[in-house]
Amino acid sequence: MSKRLCVAAALLLGGCALGPDYHRPSLDVPAQYRDVAPAATGADGGATSMGDSGWWEVYPDPDLQALLATALKNNYDVKIAAARIDEARAQLGSARLNYFPQVSVDAGAARTETSDYVRLPGAPRIYNEDQVQILASYQIDLWGQLRRTTEAARANLLASQFARRAVSVTLVATVANAYFVLISLDSELEITRRTVVSREKFLQLTQAQHDRGYVTGLDVATAEADLAAARSTVPDLERQIAQTEDQISVLLGSNPGPVTRAHYGEAVPEAPPRPPPGLPARLLERRPDVTQAEQGLVAANAEIGVAKAALFPNISLTGSDGSLSVPFGHLFTVPAAEWSAGVGLIQPLLSVQSNLYQVQLANARTREALYQYQKTVQGAFQDVADALVAYEKFGEQERQQATQVDALRRARAIALGRYRTGYASYFDVIQADRDLFTAELALAQAYANNLSALVRLYSALGGGWQERPA
């Protein structure tokens, strides 16, 4: 009985849309991220999150901000994503036009010669025939095929817009991370060059001690080897710096070249205390890749209705109005007028089985989109949890590494002073110098790891797509 009522209402009100209406599937959303205390609640009832902040607020370095602004403007991945938005917008506009009657003009002129055996008495054998017609057709959206098609196109447009946001999030994270790696390499290079100078002076001291007969040739050879080891590190760091600059330049849409950046000396700046992550439920609305996956599910769900509608008759209204005349001068006169009107119905017969397979295909694609959406949601929760623990543990590692460097600097100074006065062996100085050099390089890397963890956390929380106010 309900199907009959639906058909009756369709005839009166324009039809019923076949296929399921979209409802967001239930998700297993944790109340808090792993190992995170309950978040502070903001004025809007939600928890404050670092992901709501603009990238210019998270990264205050003016040189980095300039690089990010250029990248978001000139990066080719961003431009490709923008072009895909225009493509999806055009597809939506094309789908919406199907709601309106299709109107066309058909005009033609022909010169015809008729056989004498079929020519009517008195009619000319050779004559001109001119015709002008206005044709119109309108498809009644009886089963909601056009509405579902438009719904799918609209979802694809939204998905492309969220895809562009996702590209921006990835781009901001990639540029920021490369920038912090670059200044960390600068710090390592400065440490290495300072170590080279220190070992050059120590080699001179050892050579002088050898000349006086206080140390052996083994001590001189060992000092020379340590100096060469430090010097050999310089070209490798310079290579990494140049390649990182090239990476950033290409991300900015430019040819490989140098990159302007801040100079922090032997250590990059410390990252701030761990910012608030917010609530996991809000992450579903903030992460562009999650919202993109959901719009893909919306589109796939709408395609089920499109496929089901193809199983039923397609009804269209057609009409024409025009003029047909043998002499051109009578083309638009009353006797030359002609018109037609009709209703067409197309019911698939031989292709029914094929259309049923299309319904099965649409159902399978919807299940695939559902699983992809659920996978993306779980991946988002994992990204945040991993980024939170990385930021916390890298911070602890950096603090302990700094303590080690301070202790080794004191130890090296003591060993060198004792060596000069003859109270310490040569190998005590060598070992202290090696340990300090290794620890200082590790400290620079720890600083970089801590800042990279901040970048990862901001990206995992869905930050980075916001447009900077003018």
Domain range list for the chain: 18-99+145-312+357-460, 102-140+314-346
What lies within 8 Å, CB to CB, of 467 at 6+ separation is none
For 18-99+145-312+357-460, CATH gives 1.20.1600.10
The pLDDT profile of the chain, 470 residues, written as one tens digit per residue, is 444 444 444 444 445 678 899 999 988 888 888 877 655 444 444 568 899 999 999 999 999 999 999 999 999 999 999 999 999 989 888 888 777 787 777 777 777 777 777 777 777 777 677 677 777 777 777 787 888 888 899 999 999 999 999 999 999 999 999 999 999 999 999 999 999 999 998 899 889 888 888 788 888 998 999 999 999 999 999 999 999 999 999 999 999 999 999 887 666 666 677 788 888 888 988 999 999 999 999 999 998 988 888 787 777 777 666 555 555 555 556 665 676 676 666 666 667 777 788 889 999 999 999 999 999 999 999 999 999 999 999 989 989 999 999 999 999 999 988 887 777 777 888 889 899 999 999 999 998 899 999 999 999 999 999 988 87
Q: Is 134 helix (H, G, I), strand (E, B) or coil?
A: strand
Token pair of 455 as six digits: 């970048």
Distance separating alpha carbons of residues 239 and 111, to the nearest angstrom: 79
Token pair of 197 as six digits: 């100078």
Measured CA distances, 70 to 7, 107, 161, 413, 419 (Å): 57, 54, 20, 46, 54
Distance separating alpha carbons of residues 327 and 334, to the nearest angstrom: 14
pTM of the model: 0.82
Q: Which CATH superfamily does the domain covering 102-140+314-346 fall into?
A: Outer membrane efflux proteins (OEP) (2.20.200.10)
Q: For tokens 């006797």, what's the residue?
A: 335
Token pair of 454 as six digits: 């901040």
The DSSP 8-state label assigned to residue 287 in this structure reads: -
Token pair of 342 as six digits: 């009709």
What lies within 8 Å, CB to CB, of 368 at 6+ separation is 300
